Amino acid sequence: MDAPRVRLGRSTVITTRLALGGAALGNLFSPIGDAAATAAVDAAWQAGLRSFDTAPHYGLGLSERRLGAALRGRPRAEYSISTKVGRILEPLPHPAGDDLANGFAVPATHRRRWDFTADGVRRSLEESLTRLGLDRVDVVYLHDPDDHLAQALNEAYPALERLRSEGLVGAIGAGMNHSVPLTRFARETDVDVVLLAGRYTLLDQSALTDLLPAAAARGVSVVVGGVFNSGLLADPGPGATFDYAQAPPPLLARALELQQVCERHGVPLRAAAVRFAFGHPAVAGVLVGARSAGEITDATEQLAAPIPAALWEELRASGLLPAGVPVPETRGEEA
């Protein structure tokens, strides 16, 4: 399937509008087998996705190893891959237990050490390339530098600039769960792209007031992750999660209201959740995670589902979306 593509900022990196996020490939919350991980990547490729995201953090390197193995043999010029820096994985002398305290169902063979120094950036990238089995990646993000912002801006970011100028990476950026610090990167640096998780969704449009206008003004691309807010917008109901914790009752009630409006227009809530972010001109792409081939196939089908303009109009009129929020075109769109 031929998929629409977009350039990231002022870089030469071209990505598909929908990308596969690799956290689940690292056994996020519960294990999946190697075969299921490979099948998810294969299904993404079959659906036309050519952009893949991972990080050392995801399963203590398991996501990178699985993604690299699944892409091996694919034409390297046909896809883009992003990984992240900021956490160094150090082997434990006496491994014991699992890594579920950090969200991943893998043996606790390593510990993560925050490192946003210039040397740490290069070391992290080199180790990621080894796990991926590649000689280059297309995009490198500073990963979750919330509590290390000064060092990330003053040491890690210049190191990424040097990697870009040397041609070792095509595009650089930062990835976080909060829009305020990402806005600093958009305004104060020459990043090509920022990855924002969970803060521009049907339930949370906080990035609309800071990051998105700043990115649009500076020509910085925004990739949006967490469009289901970790599950609540995929299947609202008792026990549903929002940002990886049980959803508070007011948010669950709001998600159910969103679902009711979508149902009145014959649209699955999942389809509206995947499509929503594309309404803003600064958004270059959406990142979706998948634990199986079926989940990634569903995501691509939801993205292609036609959504009537009346749905967006009702969501704005009812106050479930801000009155002035930009919304996507009403026609379906392939991945």
Q: What is the pLDDT of residues 79-109, one digit of tens each?
A: 999 999 999 999 999 999 999 999 999 999 9
Tokens 């500073």 sit on residue: 142
Q: What is the mean pLDDT of residues 212-232?
A: 96
Q: End-to-end CA distance of the chain, in Å?
A: 9
The helix (H) or strand (E) run that includes residue 69 is helix 62-71
What pLDDT sits at residue 332?
A: 43
> Quick check: 120 pLDDT over 50?
yes
Average confidence (pLDDT) over 29-52 = 97
Share of the chain above pLDDT 90, in %: 94
Above 80 in pLDDT, residue 9? yes
Burial (0-12, 13-18, 19+ Cβ within 10 Å), 77: exposed
pLDDT score of 2: 55
Instruction: Label residues 4-34 b or e (16+ Cβ within 10 Å = b).
Output: eeeebbebebebbbbbbbbbbbbbbeeebee
What distance in Å separates the CA atoms of residue 75 and residue 121, rounded to the nearest whole number?
27
> Where residue 4 falls among pLDDT bands split at 50, 70, 90?
confident
Q: Give the pLDDT mean for 212-226.
A: 98
191 CB contacts (<8 Å, ≥6 apart)? 9, 157, 172, 173, 174, 185, 220
* Average pLDDT over every residue of 168-195: 97
pTM (global) more than 0.85: yes
- Point out the residues that are catalytic: 58
Cβ atoms 252, 260 nearer than 8 A: no
Given this model, what pLDDT does residue 152 score? Answer: 98
Q: What does the DSSP assignment read for 187-224?
A: HHS--SEEEEESSSSSS--GGGTTHHHHHHHHT-EEEE
Owner of token pair 């031929």 = 2
Whether 238 has a pLDDT exceeding 80, the answer reads yes
Q: Please write the tens of the pLDDT for every residue from 271-293.
A: 999 999 999 999 999 999 999 99
Per-residue model confidence (pLDDT) at position 245: 87
Band of the pLDDT at 333, cuts 50, 70, 90? very low
Please give the average per-residue pLDDT across 230-257, as a whole number.
92
Based on C-alpha coordinates, what's the Rg of the chain? 19
Average pLDDT of the residues of the chain = 95
DSSP state of 154: I
The number of helix segments (H) and strand segments (E) in the chain equals 11, 16
Inform me whether the pLDDT recorded for 228 exceeds 90.
Answer: yes
Instruction: Indicate the burial class of 312 (C-beta count within 10 angstroms; 0-12, 13-18, 19 or more).
Output: buried
Half-sphere exposure at residue 271, Cβ-oriented, CA atoms within 13 angstroms: 22
List, for residues 199-216, the tens digit of each pLDDT value: 999 999 999 999 999 999
State residue 28's pLDDT score: 95
pLDDT confidence of residue 330 = 64
How far apart, in whole angstroms, are the C-alpha atoms of residue 26 and residue 33?
10
